[in-house]
């Protein structure tokens, strides 16, 4: 309210008996209320406020509504009563987990399926065996042919028949190789090849029985055996057959 409005109201009240009476009543009411407040305060003096204040402060301090010193840190024991529910929960979790693992393990879910890299059918394995036998046989035939040809061509004009030291060593090695080759030939069901290899083995065995210096008679005997049994021809034919049957 502006000062001008106040002045206007003041003037009106001075000239208006009704409004003046209204203002007097209000002033009387408010003065009484104010004095009532004063009287109340005076009446409140009847209360021992010092004692009241001390009572309040004591209550606050005694009840420790607010910790004054650093709060005491409660020790947390691993097996203390406060942690029992936690431990119980943990134990239960371990038991449930172990049971679940056991069931899962028993069901075979965790077992790894055989890796595809190691999977091979019987047919495939058979073909591998056959290929190994084929190559080993070819190698055996190659070397045998070389030794037998050398033996066939060593005859001199004087009739001497000598087997070189290298050929003699090769003969011994081929005898050993034949023992290694036998199971492969049987496994691969190469009976024809095995029969020829057996004949060659027999020849080498004969050779091994005699000394390095063969007598002309012994030499001719072996050469005759090679010719009669057509060993070199058989070797040639078998080699060709094996080379053509390459897997």
Partner 1 sequence: MEDKRTTPNEDISTLLKKAGEGDRHAFRDIVSLHQQKVFLLAYSILRNREDALDVVQETFMRLYQKLDTYEKDRNFQAWLLQIAKNLSIDYYRKHYSRRRGMETDKSIEELPLAAEDHASNPESSELRHVISRNLERLGERQRLIFVMKHFNGLEYREIAQVLGISVGTVKSLHFKAVRNLKHWLSPQLGMQP
- What CA–CA distance (Å, rounded) separates 29 from 34? 9
On whether the CB atoms of residues 145 and 240 are closer than 8 A, the answer is no
Contact window for partner 1 (CB under 8 A) among 1-9, 51-59, 152-160, 219-227: 51-59
The closest of 196, 221, 195, 193 to 207, measured between CA atoms, is 221
- Residue 60 binds partner 1, judged by CB under 8 A: yes
- Residue 18 binds partner 1, judged by CB under 8 A: yes
**Which one among 4, 5, 15, 65 touches partner 1, defined by CB under 8 A?**
65
**Which one among 7, 14, 48, 54 touches partner 1, defined by CB under 8 A?**
54
Residue 69 CB, nearest approach to partner 1 (Å): 8
Contact window for partner 1 (CB under 8 A) among 48-56, 83-91, 148-156, 224-232: 48-56
Sequence-ordered list of residues with C-beta below 8 angstroms from that of 191, at least 6 positions apart, any chain: 185
- Residue 164 binds partner 1, judged by CB under 8 A: no
The closest of 203, 246, 201 to 228, measured between CA atoms, is 203
- Residue 16 binds partner 1, judged by CB under 8 A: no
| CA-CA-CA-CA torsion sign (216, 222, 225, 226) | negative
Whichever of 36 and 208 has its CB closer to partner 1, that residue is: 36
- Residue 68 binds partner 1, judged by CB under 8 A: yes
The DSSP 8-state label assigned to residue 217 in this structure reads H
Contact window for partner 1 (CB under 8 A) among 21-29, 91-99, 183-191, 227-235: 21-29
- Residue 57 binds partner 1, judged by CB under 8 A: yes
Residue 97 CB, nearest approach to partner 1 (Å): 45
Whichever of 63 and 244 has its CB closer to partner 1, that residue is: 63
The closest of 141, 167, 171, 144 to 154, measured between CA atoms, is 167
Burial (CB count within 10 angstroms: exposed 0-12, middle 13-18, buried 19+), residue 104: exposed
Contact window for partner 1 (CB under 8 A) among 61-69, 99-107, 151-159, 202-210: 61-69
The closest of 106, 128, 115 to 187, measured between CA atoms, is 128
**Which one among 7, 11, 36, 213 touches partner 1, defined by CB under 8 A?**
36
- What CA–CA distance (Å, rounded) separates 205 from 179? 12
Contact window for partner 1 (CB under 8 A) among 6-14, 55-63, 158-166, 227-235: 55-63
Structure tokens at 247: 């897997």
- Residue whose entry in the numeric block shows the structure tokens 């190698």: 139
Torsion of CA 195, 198, 202, 207, to 10 degrees: 120
Whichever of 54 and 160 has its CB closer to partner 1, that residue is: 54
By the criterion CB under 8 A, which residues form the site for partner 1?
Answer: 18, 21-22, 25-26, 28-30, 32-37, 39-44, 46-47, 49-50, 52-57, 59-61, 63, 65-66, 68-69
């Amino acid at each position: 309210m502006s000062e001008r409005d106040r002045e206007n109201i003041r003037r009106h009240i001075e000239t208006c008996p009704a409004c003046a009476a209204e203002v007097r009543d209000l002033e009387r009411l408010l003065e009484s209320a104010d004095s009532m407040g004063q009287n109340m305060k005076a009446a409140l003096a009847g209360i021992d406020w010092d004692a009241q204040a001390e009572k309040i402060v004591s209550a606050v301090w005694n009840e420790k509504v607010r910790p004054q010193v650093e709060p005491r840190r409660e020790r947390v024991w691993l097996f203390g009563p406060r942690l029992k529910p936690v431990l119980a929960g943990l134990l239960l979790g371990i038991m449930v987990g172990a049971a679940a693992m056991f069931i899962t393990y028993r069901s075979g879910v965790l077992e790894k399926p055989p890796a595809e890299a190691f999977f091979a059918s019987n047919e495939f394995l058979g073909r591998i065996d056959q290929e190994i036998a084929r190559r080993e046989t070819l190698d055996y035939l190659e070397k045998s042919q070389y030794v037998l040809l050398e033996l066939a061509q060593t005859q001199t004009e004087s009739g001497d028949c000598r087997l070189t030291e290298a050929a003699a060593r090769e003969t011994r090695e081929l005898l050993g190789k034949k023992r290694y080759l036998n199971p492969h030939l049987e496994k691969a069901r190469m009976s024809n090849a095995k029969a020829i290899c057996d004949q060659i083995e027999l020849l080498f065995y004969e050779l091994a029985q005699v000394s390095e210096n063969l007598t002309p008679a012994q030499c001719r005997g072996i050469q005759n055996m090679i010719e009669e049994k057509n060993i070199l021809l058989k070797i040639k034919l078998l080699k060709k057959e094996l080379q053509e049957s390459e897997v």
